[in-house]
A = this chain, B = another copy of it.
Amino acid sequence: MSTPFPAQPRIAILGSGALGCYYGTRFAKAGEDVHFLVRSGRAAVMARGLRVKTPTERIQVKKAQVYGSPEEIGPCDLVLIALKATANDQLKKLLPPLLKPGTVVLTLQNGLGVEEPVAEVAGAENVLGAICFVGCIRTAPGTVNCSFPGLVLIGEFGRPAGDRTHAVAALFTRAGVKCEAQNNLEELRWRKLVWNVPFNGLAIAAGGITTDIIVADEGLRQLSRRLMEEIVDAAAKFGHVIPRSFVDIQFDRTAKMGRYRPSSLIDYEEGREVELEEIWGEPVRRAKTQGVPVPRLEMLYWLIKRLLAARRKPHQRD
């Protein structure tokens, strides 16, 4: 934290799925110095550039700086990790060429335990995490349809926000993304699980259903509430106090989303990796270390794990 974060940072983006393309395109359009690692569909992205469609904008970056390996990119000031958490075993190979002293690594990944593998490679003191509330789908290489631009919350791994947290948040804001620096990243992650665990989970486990069906089904609605309460109870043991009113508002919020197809369900149905361990497995393991009973969460974890095992082999994605 001694070196101040540069005003015009050199930025690398790892992963060219929906999130990597969405934020990366915005950064590039805002004139930032962005370098994309694109491993599949690179020729298409080089030829056609990057395209983002939102409900109010069409953004195009004709000439993106696209690379096939991190060595070609070289050291940066900021690395955004937009890979699926299920690909985190590749970080040992992908990250080092992008690092120099003080490089900030921001993971955009979902769930619990996603900062730890980054910290192992980049050093805990350099790790930030983002919680992205956003609705994005990659429709083709470099092409993203963003139905809900939402909000990004950024925090430090195991520390309150500092100057660089605000500097990184400002970068998002300048690129047209609503963004806030936050003091308690871990608590935010538990809060996001309050929604993700039941809605992403039951969407898969109850037969491939949208959130409106979960909200309307008497049993699943009650089950969602119990799952949320298990998360709240576990979070409390780690010092994160999530009020019961936060549970209540999830249902109204979700009802307003209509026939929403949670991202894990999309991944599941399209044969892509699902963040099983980060969303369901890790919360179970952490709750158990504190002796908090999470019978429904654990049951959901086991069911989804089995459903994933039975599915055709997921194809690789970067």
Identify the A interface with B (CB < 8 A): 205-207, 209, 213, 217, 219-220, 222-223, 226, 295-296, 298-303, 305-307, 309-310
CB distance from A308 to the nearest CB of B (A): 10
A300–B219 CA distance with the chains assembled, in angstroms: 10
Q: Chain B contacts of A301 at CB under 8 A?
A: 219
A219-B301, A301-B219 as given contacts; A207 in contact with B306, CB under 8 Å: yes
Q: How far is the CA of A305 from the CA of B205 in the complex (A)?
A: 12
Q: Is the interface of A mostly helix, strand, loop or mixed?
A: helix
Choose from B223, B306, B307, B309 the contact partner of A299 (Cβ within 8 Å): B223
Per the bound structure, the CA–CA distance linking A92 and B175 in Å amounts to 71
Q: Which chain B positions have C-beta within 8 A of A300?
A: 299
Sample of 8 further A-B pairs with CB below 8 A, known A205-B205, A217-B306, A295-B296:
A206-B307, A206-B310, A207-B307, A213-B306, A226-B295, A295-B295, A295-B299, A296-B299
Measured between alpha carbons, how far is A219 from B220 in the docked complex, in Å?
22
Contacts of A305 in B (CB 8 A): 219
Would you call B307 and A220 a contact (CB within 8 A)? no
Rounded to whole Å, the gap between the CB of A214 and the closest CB of chain B is 9
User: Are B310 and A222 in contact (CB-based, < 8 A)?
Assistant: no
CB distance from A306 to the nearest CB of B (A): 5
Q: Which 8 A-B pairs have the closest CB atoms?
A: A219-B302, A295-B295, A206-B306, A207-B307, A207-B310, A223-B302, A296-B299, A295-B296
Residues of B within 8 A of A302 (CB): 217, 219-220, 222-223
CA A302 to CA B226, docked complex, whole Å: 12
Chain B contacts for A310, CB-based, 8 A: 206-207, 209
Cα distance, A300 to B205, chains bound together (Å): 10
Chain B residues, Cβ within 8 Å of A298: 223
Quote the shortest CB–CB distance from A83 to chain B (angstroms).
Answer: 26
